Amino acid sequence: MARLLVIGSYNRDTVLRVTRFPKPGETLAATGMDRFHGGKGSNQAVAAARAGADVAFAAAVGADAAGAAARALWAAEGIAPACVRPRDAIPTGEALILLDAAGENEIVIVAGANGTLLPEDVTAAVPGAAIVLAQLETPMAATLAAFEAARRAGARTLLNAAPAQPLPPALLAATDILIVNETEAERLAGKGGMPATLAAALVPAVAVGVALTAGAAGAHWAGRDGTRLHAAPPPVEVVDSTGAGDAFTGTFAAALAEGLGIAAALRRGVVAGALACRVLGAVPSLPRRAEILAAGG
């Protein structure tokens, strides 16, 4: 199977469970606390590996207990550390997640070692990859260098534009497939609109197309070739939506690496995203291939 290279972040997640989100200046008592593996890059690498892909991961972590735990996670999931750089003087990234009674979340991130990932750290990992996937929790300069190297090597590039922020034209120009949620799409498009309309509005910026996730409404695809697709999720009881977007993205990328077409990859990603809402914590929630296929993915 073709290799999927994921470039991205690892965070140690602290989840505080609350009945509701606090108002500005308000102090609330949490009803519970948990700690999990996190970071969009790591989550997506795990999701892709569990979906059946041959995954390599490029990242920067601290030379600390959290960094050691990250490396142990990737080893357990069968993810090759294509380029994992321990930083002696900088701690591993951290994320604080507020999770309310409805399963919605608010997240604050401290980049830590994630912010030190350099172009030279990642470009050496590109040869041999069929697909290169990245997000926006690590420096864009490293992602751009990897995408340009991927283009030269004939690999496809997938950018999950999360968390929402402005993107340099050069990075979009080096992107084949853009993956966004509704908030991220509105930020990039500079306007609101229906999910299918937003996806179509972003298509001219990339080479192949846009996959837009819309929570319980599923996901939309808009391609440069005029293709328009929609995939609806299976019904699930939502416990925690933290890992849903990463489950979609990692599984979608894994399906493409497997050789599936866009429609099948979109469907498989949507099913994985829905299944991930059933369990507390990002990594514990990421479904495995057999579960995804059994649920119609």
Cα gap 87→113, rounded to integer Å? 6
Residue 281 pLDDT grade (very low, low, confident, very high; cuts 50, 70, 90): confident
CA–CA distance, 65 with 59 (Å, rounded to integer): 16
Q: Assess if residue 293 is contained within a domain.
A: no
- Judge whether 296 lies within some domain: no
Q: How far is CA 253 from CA 10, 99, 115, in A?
A: 18, 27, 24
By residue range, what is the domain housing residue 134?
Answer: 3-287
- Residue 147 domain-assigned? yes
Confirm whether 297 is domain-assigned.
no
What does DSSP assign to residue 279? S
Q: How many helices (H) and strands (E) does the chain have?
A: 11, 13
Which residue is catalytic, options 54, 121, 240, 246?
Answer: 246
* Confidence band, pLDDT 50/70/90 cuts, at residue 1: very low
Q: What is the pLDDT of residue 85?
A: 67
The answer to whether residue 168 is domain-embedded is yes
Please report which confidence band the pLDDT of residue 2 belongs to, taking 50, 70 and 90 as the band edges.
low
The answer as to whether 76 is a domain residue is yes
Residue 99 Cα distances to 9, 27, 117, 272, 296, angstroms: 21, 15, 29, 20, 28
Residue 242 pLDDT:
81
Residue 260 DSSP one-character state:
-
- Residue 294: predicted pLDDT: 96
pLDDT, the chain, mean: 94
Residue at 51 is within a domain: yes
Name the more confident of 144 and 36: 144
Number of domains comprising the chain: 1
Query: What are the structure tokens assigned to 147, written together?
Result: 């995408």
Q: Is 54 a catalytic residue?
A: no
Judge whether 265 and 248 are in contact, CB under 8 Å. Answer: no
Which CATH number do you get for residue 7? Answer: 3.40.1190.20
Q: Give pLDDT, residue 139.
A: 95
Q: With 0-12 CB in 10 A as exposed, 13-18 as middle and 19+ as buried, what is 264?
A: middle
Please calculate the CA angle 251-254-257 and round it to the nearest 5 degrees: 155
In the chain, how long is the greatest CA-to-CA distance? 53
Q: What is the pLDDT of residues 72-112, one digit of tens each?
A: 999 999 999 877 767 888 999 998 989 898 888 888 989 99
Give the rounded percent of residues in the chain with a pLDDT score beyond 90. Answer: 83
Query: How large is the average pLDDT for residues 24-34?
Result: 94
pLDDT digits (tens, 9 = 90+) for 195-251: 999 999 999 999 999 999 999 999 999 999 999 999 999 999 988 888 999 999 999
In a domain, 111, yes or no: yes
Label residue 24 left, alpha or beta by phi (over 0 means left) and psi (-120 to 50 means alpha). Answer: beta
Q: Convert the pLDDT of each residue in 3-22 to its tens digit.
A: 999 999 999 989 899 999 99
pLDDT in tens, 248-261: 999 999 999 999 99
